[in-house]
Each structure stands twice: as C-alpha cells, then as structure tokens.
Amino acid sequence: MAHIVTLKTPSREDWLQQLADVVTEPDELLRILALDQHTELAEGADARRLFALRVPHAFIRRMKKGDAHDPLLLQVLTRRQEFTDAPGYSTDPLDEQSNVVPGLLHKYRNRALLLVKGGCAVNCRYCFRRHFPYQDNPGNKRSWQAALNYIADHPELDEIIFSGGDPLMAKDHELAWLIAALEQIPHLKRLRIHSRLPVVIPARITDQLCQMLSETRLQVVMVTHINHAQEIDDELREAMISL
C-alpha cells in the first residue's frame, strides 16, 4: 500500500466550508482587491446573468491587491465582451450536447467521459461548458447507474474520465461508491480525473481521497487544471505531494 502523507494540520479548514465561503458579486470582488475605483472593471457586472460569478476566498487570497491585470482575477471577473456574438462561435464547441446516456460522453472508441458533477468551485469565464444542459445531466446515483450500465455493456471501453463541472465536487463517499462500481467492470483499466478543485481549494485533497485512489485496482491519472504560476502556493504543493 502506498504511503499517505496526512494533511491534518491546524491551518487546513474543512474543504466544504471553504467551498461555501465565496464571492458572487463583481463589486464585492473588486472591493476586496482594492480595485473598486477602477470603474472600467465593473462595466461587465451584468454578465453574471449569462454565467454566474463564483470565486472562493481561498482563491482570491492568491490575487494581488490593486492589480487590475492580475492573471487570476482576469480568469473570473465578468466582462462586457461576454455579450458579444462572434461569427462562427458555438455554445457547444465540442459537440457534447447530444449524448445518449445522461452525463456520459462516448466520443472515442476506448474511453468515455463521465460528468460526475455539474458545479465547480470557481466559475472561469472561459469555460467551454458554460452552456451545457446540466439540468438534463444530473450528478446523482441514478444517472451514474445508467452510465455504469452503458459502460458495462461496451467492452471496448478501457478508460473512464471523470469530468464535470468538476468531479471533485462530489464528496469522498460518493467518489468511493462510484470507483467501487467501476472496479467491478472487468474491461476497465484506467481512471482519469480532470479537476481544478485542488488548485482552487487545495484542502479538497483529503486523506480519505488519497487513500481510495491508492487502493483502487484501476490505474489513476490525475489531471490538475493549473493556469498560472501564481496559483501555485505552499498549500497546493503540500496537497500535490500527498496526492
């Protein structure tokens, strides 16, 4: 069994508490960053009607106060350009909205993508699934079971990709149930997890999560969505080492 580096330090809050501690108003975000005098930054506030603004304080703390060009801020701040219709652009750029089984995308012969959860810890303005009909693809056990039945009936599949939203929005007991079910399908070999949550809230990498990933028979590949070096701090490094 792999050695697990525990993360139970006094400085680490419960990840669900950090997930709930969010900013959802552009003017509040600008005020926290001492940018409320930059009126041009507030001009896109109405874009939150197109796609909600959601930024945890755990991520805001890595932004530079007073810097209107902070690379982390620019990923999440609403902009008036979001109302612009660009010729040739699509709300479904990857042609993902015609899936047969809710929450499961089977575009390549040997792998399928399971949309475990529709939500994310942070709403990135560039998200290519911001228009995806998550209401028709709920992240619950009923949908997962339908996807599992499909996977079991398609022996050409040897790899499942957890995506979303963000798959790590699922609680550890939900992931444990899902992984245990996948392990029972003999033709599966690999589990790939695509997530930004460890970057936004490093406390999401819990001891329980590390333990279950170390014990599964599936080969696990974790793909973390890191966009800028400024996102990498000591807490993220600690989480990645444990993982």
As a whole number of angstroms, the distance between CA 181 and CA 139 comes to 15
The pTM (predicted TM-score) of the whole model is: 0.86
For the chain, the domains span 14-83, 104-242
| Sign of torsion over alpha carbons 91, 95, 96, 99 | positive
Please report the pLDDT score of residue 101 as a whole number. 85
The pLDDT > 90 percentage for the chain reads 65
Q: What is the mean pLDDT of residues 111-119?
A: 92
Per-residue pLDDT tens digits for 19-30: 999 999 999 999
Eight-state DSSP code of residue 85: P
pLDDT category at 93 given cuts 50, 70, 90 is low
pLDDT mean across residues, the chain? 87
Per-residue pLDDT tens digits for 39-91: 888 787 777 777 789 999 999 999 999 999 999 999 999 887 766 777 766 55
Listed in sequence order, the residues at least 6 apart from 103 whose beta carbon sits closer than 8 Å to its beta carbon are 114, 115, 116, 137, 138, 139, 143, 144, 146, 147
Lowest mean pLDDT among 48-52, 120-124, 215-219, 236-240: 48-52
Please report the pLDDT score of residue 45 as a whole number. 79
The pLDDT > 70 percentage for the chain reads 84
Per-residue pLDDT tens digits for 149-179: 999 999 999 999 999 889 999 999 999 999 9
Please report the pLDDT score of residue 114 as a whole number. 94
- Going by CATH, does the domain composed of 104-242 fall within 3.40.50.12780? no
Please report the pLDDT score of residue 5 as a whole number. 40
Please report the pLDDT score of residue 148 as a whole number. 97
Residue 63 · residue 233 · CB < 8 Å: no
Q: Would you state the structure tokens that stand for residue 200, as one six-digit string?
A: 């936004």
The one-letter amino acid code at 14 reads: D
Per-residue pLDDT tens digits for 176-196: 999 999 999 999 999 999 999
